Structure 1
């Protein structure tokens, strides 16, 4: 590391510092920590999941263990408590970590455990978002987006400062991880960050009003659920009057638990109500 400003050795100004321990806040620190943890997991029999490099899987017969890594937040779970405990013990022997505890808070998501399953919600995140934009006491509404008037690029007075709008939309995109009900509204609002008018800002505030009345909503993952996949999908017909491109929506369930959902515009103008990528 280069000598920090104000602490440069006058006799050896070209010298550098040798780090014996990572300094929190360095850009290289998260990557170095991840590589050290990855090497440890690979040595102990875990396999790095190719689709998501933050996920590691260990399979031994009928037993399977998962390790999910988000910088210094780690989730360890599996279907065998003895194997999960051994993974935590190996972490304690190799790294300096806090005492493990049941999952209750991760990356702004509050996890509430019961005999029936897990409830995931972002109540504190929503409260902070509403407070930041002075809408904590906003009057709740029943829908995340109004059906009329329809939002378009060329309509209404242009708004000179888009920073507040972009901040709201960016926050809503993260919130949609546990709120499928706002996915369509977030996708719609994201289409106007480059050309904002007052109607778009009003629509964003409407979503905040909806959140103020559904602040504790989230996802419930049932402990007992059939292990079969089923999905629901839909698409409008040239719903965007600016380019006549349709919007797809889908949600996938594993048993009774929602595991994936999305709402986005198609790549081009389709000749039917389904996406051209799945046409026969």
Structure 2
């Protein structure tokens, strides 16, 4: 609060979309400051204004000498002439060493496509502490690895009663990490300023409770910005309803990103687009008449119709083969996983 009060007093504005973000504008010049407890990232388009801000900050608070971004909250940032690569290699290596999996034989997918896990497969672990500890570490890894999101989400659902089969699935995920420790997100220079997303749902995919899983990937140009793999609330009655709810959740995330980009001064040249592979859900987004079989859907999911009707958002059909969000909703075969993971933006660390 002391830092916030100071920043507001010298002209910074606190972002509404992200309370950790502070923005300073001086004509065409701007400075962005991202604060997490006592760790601070600061950047801008005017080196003089940036240095003045750093000097003023050092006079008011005890701060370390500023240095180029290379490591922040467990995320490594590596600059090349082509852009910025974000990965968690050191974090992964530490996790593998802690679980004695550093020299494990790698596998090509994070989770086996079959047989599917359930609450009752395997024998109950006598001490679930290690399972829960490792899963907690894996949840943090999903910040730079959308290819891990589904497996981590799925395995986290067994935290309360993990079994031997669940533990084997965790070890398989660690083996996948052993072969992909340098993978991460590459933010390329010269990226286009267009926003689009892929939305998908695995209807009734959980054989324990038949609840569907939502998945979305949001891109700014070619860069993945946000992703999620999460179970829906309650059982739905059709694949169209499951997909429609997933599109609505994706639209909510897209609207939040639009608000954040607006505060950063970034204007989108075209309305955002959401790609969905369910024709029924697409028709439902644009249809002004409530179909009798859809009256039970909560009104908060229908806000997407207003966005579509006002032209603020487009929902477009994409073939199932090109549905990148598949990687967030169900375990895939080796070929299907490779097809998705090679396109979603997860890549090895490039050479300098």
Query: RCO higher in 1 or 2 (8 Å CA, sep ≥ 6)?
Result: 2
Give the deviation of 1:224 after TM superposition. 1.2
**CA distance in structure 2 between the aligned counterparts of 1:83 and 1:233, rounded to whole angstroms:** 41
Aligned to 1:245, the other structure's residue is in SS state: coil
2:186 counterpart residue number? 220
Deviations 1:137-175 (A, max 9, x none): 100000011111111012221111111110111001101
Task: Look up the match of 1:15.
Answer: none
- Rounded Cα–Cα distance in structure 1 between residues aligned with 2:128 and 2:32: 42
Query: What are the equivalent positions in structure 2 for 1:214-253 lying under 5 Å apart?
Result: 214-253=180-219
What is the 5 A alignment of 1:31-180? 35-180=1-146
Structure 1 residue 183 corresponds to structure 2 residue 149? yes
**Contact 1:248–1:275 (8 Å) recurs in 2:** no
Query: Structure 1 residue 189: deviation in Å?
Result: 0.5
| Distance apart, 1:275 and its partner CA | 4.3
Tell me, in whole angstroms, the C-alpha distance in 1 between the residues paired with 2:176 and 2:244: 30
1:276 to 2:245 alignment = yes
Deviation, 1:64, is 2.5
**Who wins on radius of gyration, i.e. which is larger?**
1
Q: What is the TM-score of this pair, normalised by structure 1? A: 0.84
If each structure's helix is expressed as a fraction of its own residues, which one has the higher value? Answer: 2
Kindly state the Cα deviation for residue 250 of structure 1 after the two structures are TM-superposed. Answer: 0.8
Partner SS state of residue 182, structure 1: helix
- C-alpha RMSD over aligned residues: 1.4
Q: Is the Cα–Cα contact under 8 Å of residues 49 and 56 in structure 1 kept in the other structure?
A: yes
Aligned residues: 246
Q: In structure 2, how many angstroms separate the alpha carbons of the residues matched to 1:173 and 1:62?
A: 39
Q: Give the gaps of 5 or more residues in structure 1.
A: 1-34
Q: Structure 2 unaligned runs (5+)? A: 249-280, 285-352
Shift of 1:242: 0.9
Distance change in 2, residues 1:145/1:54 (3 Å): same
**Superimposed CA distance per residue, residues 87-121 of structure 1 (whole angstroms, 9 cap, x where no aligned partner):** 11111111121111110111111111112111011
* Higher deviation after alignment, 212-221 or 41-50: 41-50
Deviations 1:21-73 (A, max 9, x none): xxxxxxxxxxxxxx221111001111112333221112334333210112221
- Is this contact kept in 2: 1:47–1:57, CA < 8 A? yes
Q: Name the structure 2 match of 1:255.
A: 221
After superposition, give the CA deviation of every residue in 1:2-34 in whole Å (9 maximum; x if it has no partner): xxxxxxxxxxxxxxxxxxxxxxxxxxxxxxxxx
Provide the rounded CA distance (Å) in 2 between the counterparts of 1:86 and 1:79: 13
Residue 19 of structure 1 aligns with which residue? none
TM-score by length of 2: 0.68
Alpha-carbon distance in 2 for matches of 1:276, 1:88: 45
Residue aligning to 1:5: none
